[in-house]
Structure 1
Amino acid sequence: MRIDFAPLNTPLRRRLQTAAVLQFVFSFLALAPICILLFFYLLFTRFWLISVLYATWWFFDYDTPSRGGHKLPFLCGLKVWEYMRDYFPIQLVKTADLDPRSNYVLGFHPHGVLVAGAFTNFCSYATGFTRLYPGIQSYLLMLPLWFRAPFFRDYIMCAGLIPSDKVSASYPLSQRSGGNAVVVAVGGAPEALDAHPGTYNVVLAKKKGFVKMAMEHGAHLVPVFSFGENELFDQVENSRGTWLRRTQEWLQSVMGVALPLFHARGIFQYSFGLMPYRKPISTVVGRPIKVERKEKPTAEELDALHQVYMDELSGLFEAHKGSYGVDKDTHLNFV
Structure 2
Amino acid sequence: MKIQFAPLDTPLNRRLQTAAVAQWVYSFLGLAPTCIFLFFYLLFTRFWLLSVVYALWWFWDYDTPSRGGRKKPFLCGLKLWEYMRDYFPIKLVKTADLDPRHHYVLGFHPHGVLVAGAFTNFCTCTTGFTQLFPGLTSYLLMLPLWFRAPFFRDYIMTAGLIPSDKVSAKYLLCQRGGGNAVVIAVGGAPEALDAHPGTFNVLLAKKKGFIKLAMEHGAHLVPVFSFGENELFDQVENKRGTWLRWTQERLQSFMGISLPLFHARGIFQYSFGLMPYRRPIHTVVGRPIKVKKNEKPTAEELDALHQLYMDELSTLFEEHKGNYGVDRDTHLNFV
Q: How far is 1:176 from its partner? A: 1.9
**In structure 1, what is the Cα distance between the partners aligned to 2:31 and 2:169?**
24
1:51 maps to amino acid: S
% identical aligned pairs? 84
**In structure 1, what is the Cα distance between the partners aligned to 2:316 and 2:161?**
26
Tell me the equivalent position of 1:120. 120
Tell me the equivalent position of 2:324. 324
Q: How far is 1:254 from its partner? A: 1.1
Matched, 1:133 2:138: no
- Stretches of structure 2 that go unaligned for 5 or more consecutive residues are none
CA shift digits 1:142-181 (9 cap, x unpaired): 0000000000000000000000011011111111210000
Tell me the equivalent position of 1:56. 56
Tell me the equivalent position of 1:71. 71
Q: Secondary structure at the match of 1:222?
A: strand
**In structure 2, what is the Cα distance between the partners aligned to 1:46 and 1:157?**
29
Matched, 1:302 2:312: no
- Within-5 A mapping of 1:184-263: 184-263=184-263
CA shift digits 1:276-330 (9 cap, x unpaired): 0000000000000000000010000000000000000000000000000000000
Q: How many residues align?
A: 335
**In structure 2, what is the Cα distance between the partners aligned to 1:170 and 1:184?**
13
Tell me the equivalent position of 2:150. 150
CA shift digits 1:247-292 (9 cap, x unpaired): 0000000100000000000000000000000000000000000000
**In structure 1, what is the Cα distance between the partners aligned to 2:300 and 2:220?**
18
2:38 maps to amino acid: L
Tell me the equivalent position of 1:281. 281
TM-score by length of 2: 1.00
1:11 maps to amino acid: P
Tell me the equivalent position of 1:3. 3
Q: Secondary structure at the match of 1:310?
A: helix
1:268 maps to amino acid: F
Tell me the equivalent position of 2:312. 312
Q: 4+ runs of 1 displaced by more than 3 Å? A: none
**In structure 1, what is the Cα distance between the partners aligned to 2:245 and 2:74?**
41
1:212 maps to amino acid: K
**In structure 2, what is the Cα distance between the partners aligned to 1:120 and 1:29?**
16
Q: How far is 1:92 from its partner? A: 0.0
Tell me the equivalent position of 1:13. 13
**In structure 2, what is the Cα distance between the partners aligned to 1:206 and 1:269?**
41
Q: Secondary structure at the match of 1:112?
A: coil
Q: Secondary structure at the match of 1:34?
A: helix
